[in-house]
C-alpha cells in the first residue's frame, strides 16, 4: 500500500484535490492510502470547509491552521508544520497542486528530507516573476520527481527548461519524469456539471436570466493591491453594466472584499454600491460557481481556474491580467487578455458581443487525468 501525503491550503487546491481523492476512493483504495494536510492558508468556511462538504473530500488528517501573513512568515510556518508531519508519517511521496505558498512550502519541506514530490499542474509559466505564483511553480517543478503538465504548452515549457521528454526509470529528484496528462479541473468540471444543474439554485436566487449576465471574479494581488488597477477594473465593470443594461455578478474573494473601500476612489466605491446592475456577493461553493459559469453570457476574471472553466463551459472570457499561462485559451479566440485596462476590457466585451461562434477545441484531456496520475504514481513510486 502506497502512503501518499496531499498538501492543500488555498481554495483552488482543495477543489483540485477532489478529483484525485475521488479516484483513489473509487478505484485505488486497495493500493493508495491518502493522508491530507491542510495548511490553513484559506480558513473562512466559504473558502475551505464548503468544498469538503460539497465535493466529498475526506476530512483533513492534519490542519496546520497557519492563516494569513506575509509570504515569508506564512510559508515558513507551513514548512515547519509539514516537515514534522513528513517525519512522523514517512509517506512514499507528497502531492502538490499548482502554485500557492502551500505548494511551495510542501516542496521545500519534502525536498530537504528526500520525500519524492509529485507536482500536479506542472510546467505552467507566465514568464512574469513579479507574480508570486510564478516563483512558486518554478521552485516546485525544480524539485519534483513526477511532473504532470495539464497542457501541451506546459509540457513544452518543461522541455525548454531542460527536462527530458523521454527517459527511463527509476525516477528521482535527479531523473524526473514529465507527462502531458490533461487537467484534473477538467475532470472535475465534467463530473460536477450535472450535479450543479440539479442542486444549485443560485442563478434563480439572484434573479439572473440564462445567457443574460456577466460573471466576474477579481483576486490577484496586483489587481487588488494597486489602486490604479482596481479603479480601472471597476470603472470598466460599471460602464459595461450601464451601457449594455446587463447584470454583473461578482462573488468576491475576501482579499478583494477587504480592499474595495480602501483602494477604490470614494466616488467609484459609492457608484458601484448603488449600481443595481452590479451584484457583489460572498464567495460561493463550487457547484454554485459552476452554475453561474454555465449560465453566464460572458466571464471576466483574473483567476487561473475560472478562465479555464469559462472555456470548459464554452463561454467567452476576458482575462484581467497582463498575461496568462493558459495561452491555448487565447489562441482559440474565446479569451482575450486585457490586463486591468478599462478601454481594452470594454473593447473585448464589444468584440465578444458581435462574435457569433466560438471554437472550443479539446485541449484539456478526456476527463480522466486523475486516473492517469494515480496509475503512474503506483507504477513509479516505491
Task: Write out the residues near ligand UDP by the rule CB under 6 A.
Answer: 11-12, 15, 217, 219, 251, 283-286, 289, 303-306, 309
Reference 98, options 257, 326, 311, 283; nearest CA is: 326
Region for 266 from its dihedrals, namely left if φ exceeds 0, alpha if ψ lies in -120 to 50, beta otherwise = alpha
Smallest separation (angstroms) from ligand UDP to the CB of 15: 5
Q: Which is nearer to ligand UDP, 127 or 267 (CB)?
A: 127
15 binds, among ligand UD1, ligand UDP, none (CB under 5 to 8 A by kind): ligand UDP
Q: Which is nearer to ligand UDP, 49 or 271 (CB)?
A: 49
Q: Which among 4-12, 167-175, 210-218, 309-317 is the span making contact with ligand UD1, rule CB under 6 A?
A: 4-12
Site for ligand UD1 in 36-75 (CB under 6 A): 41-44, 47, 68
Which one of 133, 187, 288, 328 is in contact with ligand UD1 (CB under 6 A)? Answer: 133
Q: Which is nearer to ligand UD1, 131 or 296 (CB)?
A: 131
Virtual CA dihedral for 281, 285, 289, 295, nearest 10 degrees?
Answer: -90
Q: Which is nearer to ligand UDP, 101 or 303 (CB)?
A: 303
CA distances from 17 to 61, 64, 208, 327, 354 (A): 14, 17, 31, 24, 38
Strand order in the sheet with 213-217: 278-281, 247-251, 213-217, 298-301, 317-319, 335-337
Distance CA 133, CA 139 (A): 10
Question: Hey, what's the cell of 231?
Answer: 479603479
Beta bridge partners of 215: 249, 299
Site for ligand UD1 in 8-27 (CB under 6 A): 10-12
* CA atoms 188, 190, 195, 201: torsion sign: positive
Strand order in the sheet with 93-97: 62-63, 32-38, 2-8, 93-97, 117-120, 146-149, 177-180
Cβ distance 278 to 235 under 8 Å?
no
Is 219 a catalytic site residue? Answer: yes
Q: Which among 54-62, 94-102, 307-315, 358-366 is the span making contact with ligand UD1, rule CB under 6 A?
A: 94-102
Catalytic-role residue among 38, 119, 180, 219:
219
Site string for ligand UD1, 158-197 (x = CB under 6 A): ----------------------------------------
Q: Which is nearer to ligand UD1, 56 or 68 (CB)?
A: 68
Q: Which among 27-35, 95-103, 139-147, 342-350 is the span making contact with ligand UD1, rule CB under 6 A?
A: 95-103
Q: Which is nearer to ligand UD1, 224 or 238 (CB)?
A: 224
CA distances from 350 to 8, 121, 295, 345, 378 (A): 39, 33, 19, 9, 49
Q: In this structure, how many other beta carbons lie within 10 angstroms of the beta carbon of residue 226?
A: 15
217 binds, among ligand UD1, ligand UDP, none (CB under 5 to 8 A by kind): ligand UDP
Question: Hey, what's the cell of 233?
Answer: 477594473
**255 near ligand UD1 (CB under 6 A):** yes
Smallest separation (angstroms) from ligand UD1 to the CB of 368: 25
| Residues recognised as catalytic | 219
Binding residues for ligand UD1, rule: CB under 6 A, are: 10-12, 41-44, 47, 68, 99-101, 132-133, 219, 221, 253-255, 258
Amino acid at each position: 500500500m502506497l502512503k501518499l501525503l496531499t498538501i492543500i491550503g488555498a481554495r483552488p487546491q482543495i477543489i483540485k484535490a477532489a478529483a484525485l481523492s475521488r479516484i483513489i476512493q473509487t478505484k485505488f483504495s486497495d493500493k493508495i492510502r491518502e493522508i491530507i494536510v491542510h495548511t490553513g492558508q484559506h480558513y473562512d468556511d466559504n473558502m475551505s470547509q464548503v468544498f469538503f462538504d460539497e465535493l466529498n473530500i475526506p476530512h483533513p488528517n492534519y490542519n496546520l491552521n497557519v492563516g494569513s501573513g506575509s509570504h515569508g512568515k506564512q510559508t515558513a510556518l507551513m514548512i515547519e508544520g509539514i516537515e514534522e508531519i513528513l517525519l512522523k508519517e514517512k509517506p512514499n511521496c507528497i502531492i502538490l497542486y499548482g502554485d500557492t505558498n502551500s505548494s511551495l512550502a510542501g516542496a521545500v519541506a519534502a525536498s530537504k528530507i528526500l520525500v519524492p514530490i509529485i507536482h500536479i499542474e506542472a510546467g505552467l509559466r507566465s514568464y512574469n516573476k513579479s507574480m508570486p505564483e510564478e516563483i512558486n511553480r518554478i521552485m516546485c517543478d525544480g524539485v519534483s520527481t513526477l511532473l504532470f503538465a495539464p497542457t501541451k504548452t506546459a509540457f513544452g515549457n518543461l522541455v525548454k527548461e531542460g527536462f527530458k521528454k523521454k527517459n527511463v526509470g527509476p525516477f528521482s529528484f535527479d531523473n524526473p519524469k514529465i507527462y502531458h496528462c490533461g487537467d484534473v479541473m477538467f475532470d472535475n468540471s465534467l463530473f460536477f456539471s450535472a450535479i450543479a444543474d440539479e442542486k444549485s439554485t443560485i442563478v434563480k436566487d439572484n434573479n439572473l436570466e440564462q445567457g443574460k449576465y456577466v460573471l466576474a471574479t477579481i483576486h490577484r494581488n496586483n489587481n487588488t493591491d494597486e489602486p490604479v488597477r482596481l479603479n480601472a477594473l471597476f470603472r470598466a465593470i460599471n460602464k459595461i453594466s450601464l451601457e449594455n443594461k446587463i447584470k454583473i455578478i461578482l462573488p468576491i474573494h475576501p482579499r478583494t472584499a477587504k480592499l474595495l473601500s480602501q483602494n477604490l476612489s470614494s466616488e467609484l466605491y459609492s457608484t458601484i454600491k448603488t449600481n443595481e446592475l452590479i451584484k457583489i456577493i460572498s464567495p460561493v461553493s463550487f457547484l454554485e460557481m459552476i452554475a453561474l459559469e454555465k449560465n453566464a453570457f460572458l466571464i471576466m476574471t483574473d483567476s487561473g481556474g475560472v478562465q479555464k472553466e469559462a472555456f470548459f463551459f464554452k463561454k467567452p472570457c476576458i482575462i484581467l491580467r497582463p498575461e496568462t499561462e493558459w495561452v491555448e485559451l487565447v489562441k482559440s479566440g474565446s479569451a482575450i487578455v486585457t490586463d486591468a485596462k478599462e478601454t481594452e476590457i470594454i473593447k473585448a466585451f464589444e468584440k465578444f458581443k458581435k462574435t457569433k461562434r466560438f471554437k472550443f477545441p479539446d485541449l484539456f484531456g478526456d476527463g480522466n487525468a486523475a486516473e492517469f496520475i494515480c496509475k503512474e504514481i503506483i507504477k513509479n513510486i516505491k
